[in-house]
Structure 1
């Protein structure tokens, strides 16, 4: 069996490792444009901030390791074109320019995503950086040492983490986003407001609710960022406004969504026989809605890459869907979310109810008893749990993993009230805040029914 794999970050690494172990007699040819594999881009801000002093820690596999497994690692090779019907591809060696042809029995597309780069006046100026791969991370660090005022465009996870890192490095920082709030894709307003307050207190200038329209500069380097609301100084700009699937090779050959994300079935097979996709280049079922959605996360990538290996010869293990569960530590704040936020539900006209708990997470007689803010979003009619969010200055984020399991298993908010959670004063109260959220939802329903009877 001749297997071709395009891309070797998270999805590709997981697929290759499992295929090599499961099918030791297979010929595996891997095509990777970079000179490295398995780079943890989610650690770029930690690298920039000096939390991770050795960048080697951001890699968990190497070409040499795969070669020991018998894998043909064609590093620094760019795939020029693929014919999925003919089961063939052409790739160019970026070092010597040689073009090679390959025929495959199975193709695994793990091409990932690439930053969205809007075409704006002044985009060609120096010191406007992207934030995705290892080389870009090194460029950001090298140029950031000389920069005095760093502007980060995009207030998602990567953007806010970079803003934190540069603020802690003593730089002037401006954080921009077209949305009126930071992290609006992941959290509701009551969770993002405390974080915005902390960013401001740490000296980060927030320029929210405005679009970048141009970059200006002299002597070929950026000096100003122009938006719909004003002009901001900057001698270094980092653009991280989002990602799009890297699937240009397959347009007109494979079914995909409007944004280019490849459509796969539950066994990770594309619309073409013997062609599979995993990671940031494809869609997954979003369990709260049941709809195919584009959710680029490293966790989804490693799982889907592993599933491709399991389903390569025959459909064996289906993907269970995803809740898009994610977490973040920013300054003293620990945040996490899973599933649908109330904001997302409102935008989708999805009828939801919410309950929130704000209280000390453990008994007040303990030396410290930090406050936790915990919120559950659930369907108004079925009472099925659709999402959850948490914020605390102590790490309680694992509670959101618990709610992720609840969503995946279609639990109702009422079932949470009496779930078996341990009590120990070091960790929680006799009624865990998850239990209390379930109880609150039951009480809320009871009061609503009472009001209906009275009316």
Structure 2
């Protein structure tokens, strides 16, 4: 069996390693256009901020490790064409420009995503950078050392983590986003408001509800960011607007979402025979809505990549879908979320309710205790849990993984009230705060029932 893999980050590495282990006789060839593989881009802010000293720890595989499994890895090779009917591909060696053709029995598309780059006046100015791969992170660190004013465009996870890292390095930082709130895709206002205040308290300038219209420079270097509400002086700009899937190779050959994300079935198969896809290049099945969605996360990628290998020859293990579970630490606050926010659920046209609790996570008679803020969103008619968010100075984020399982299994908020959680004063109260949220959501009145006949 001849297997070709295009792209080798999270999904690609998982697919390759598992395929090599499951099918030792398979001939596996990897095409990667970068000069490194398996880089954990979620660690860029930690690297920039100096928390991670050795960037090699952000790599979890290498061409040498794959070679030990019998895998041939073509680094700095870009696939420029794929014919899914003929089962052929054409690649270019980026080192010498040489092009050649190859064939496959099974094709694994793990081409990932690329930052959205707006077409704005001044985009060609020096000092406007992207944040995605290892080379980007090294450039950011090098350039940031030479300046004092830094502007980050995009207030998602990467943008917020970067402004924190820059501020901790003593920089004057501005965060710009077209939305009125930071992290608006992940958290409701009850959570973003205190995080925004925390950023402001640390001297970070928030320019929210502002859309970037152009960049201005002097001597070829960026000096100002022009927005819909004004301008911001700067010496360096990092674009963190979002990502789009790298799927041009299969355009018109497989089913895709409007944004180009490849649609796969429960076995990671595309609509083209013997072509599989995983990771940021494709859509996921989003359990809270039951629809396909584009949610690029490393966790989704490694699960899907592993499933590709398991289903490469025969359909064996179906994909369970995802809740889009994620977490972030901003200064002292530990934050996590899963499923739909209340705002997102209403945006989907769903009739929902929510319950919000603020409590201490363990008994007040203990020497110390921290406050926890938890919100659970549920469908009004069925009372099915759709999402949850948590924040605390104490790391209680693993509780969101529990809620993720609840959503996965279509549990109700009423069932959450009575799930069996242990009690030990070091860790929680007799009613775990997850139970407490469920109890608070219980109907305040019960319909009268006819007495049973004896």
Unaligned runs of 5+ in 1: 451-455
1:78 and 2:78 correspond: yes
1:305 and 2:305 correspond: yes
Deviation for aligned residue 1:283: 0.7
Deviation for aligned residue 1:449: 6.4
Partner of 1:175: 175
Partner of 2:452: none
**Secondary structure of 2:387's match?**
strand
Partner of 1:375: 375
Partner of 2:328: 328
Partner of 1:17: 17
Distance in 2, matches of 1:259 and 1:284, equals 13
Partner of 1:360: 360
Partner of 1:123: 123
**Secondary structure of 2:303's match?**
helix
Distance in 2, matches of 1:71 and 1:99, equals 21
Partner of 2:444: 446
1:55-81 Cα deviation digits (max 9, x unpaired): 001001111000111101000000010
Partner of 2:187: 187
Partner of 1:143: 143
Partner of 2:293: 293
Partner of 1:207: 207
Partner of 1:198: 198
Distance in 1, matches of 2:178 and 2:305, equals 33
Matches within 5 A, 1:382-401: 382-401=382-401
**Secondary structure of 2:426's match?**
coil
1:72-113 Cα deviation digits (max 9, x unpaired): 100000001000110000100111111121000000000000
Distance in 1, matches of 2:368 and 2:63, equals 48
Partner of 1:61: 61
Structure 1 outlier segments of 4+, above 2 Å: 446-450
Matches within 5 A, 1:91-106: 91-106=91-106
Partner of 1:280: 280
**Secondary structure of 1:356's match?**
strand
Deviation for aligned residue 1:446: 2.6
Partner of 2:337: 337
How many pairs does the alignment contain?
448
Query: RMSD of the TM alignment (CA)?
Result: 0.9
Distance in 2, matches of 1:59 and 1:100, equals 29
**Secondary structure of 2:74's match?**
strand
**Secondary structure of 2:145's match?**
helix
Partner of 1:153: 153
TM-score (norm 2): 0.98
Deviation for aligned residue 1:347: 1.4
Distance in 1, matches of 2:14 and 2:447, equals 51
Distance in 1, matches of 2:367 and 2:140, equals 42
Matches within 5 A, 1:7-46: 7-46=7-46
Deviation for aligned residue 1:448: 8.5
1:285-326 Cα deviation digits (max 9, x unpaired): 100110011110000000000000000001111100000000
TM-score (norm 1): 0.98
1:125-183 Cα deviation digits (max 9, x unpaired): 00100000000000000001011111000000000000000000000000011110000
**Secondary structure of 2:428's match?**
coil
**Secondary structure of 1:446's match?**
coil
Partner of 2:425: 425
Distance in 1, matches of 2:364 and 2:400, equals 23
**Secondary structure of 1:146's match?**
coil
Distance in 1, matches of 2:418 and 2:16, equals 43
Deviation for aligned residue 1:345: 1.1
Deviation for aligned residue 1:447: 4.0
Distance in 2, matches of 1:48 and 1:176, equals 19
1:4-39 Cα deviation digits (max 9, x unpaired): 000000000000000000111110010000111100
Matches within 5 A, 1:249-288: 249-288=249-288
Distance in 2, matches of 1:319 and 1:119, equals 37
Distance in 1, matches of 2:59 and 2:80, equals 27
**Secondary structure of 1:74's match?**
strand
**Secondary structure of 2:444's match?**
helix
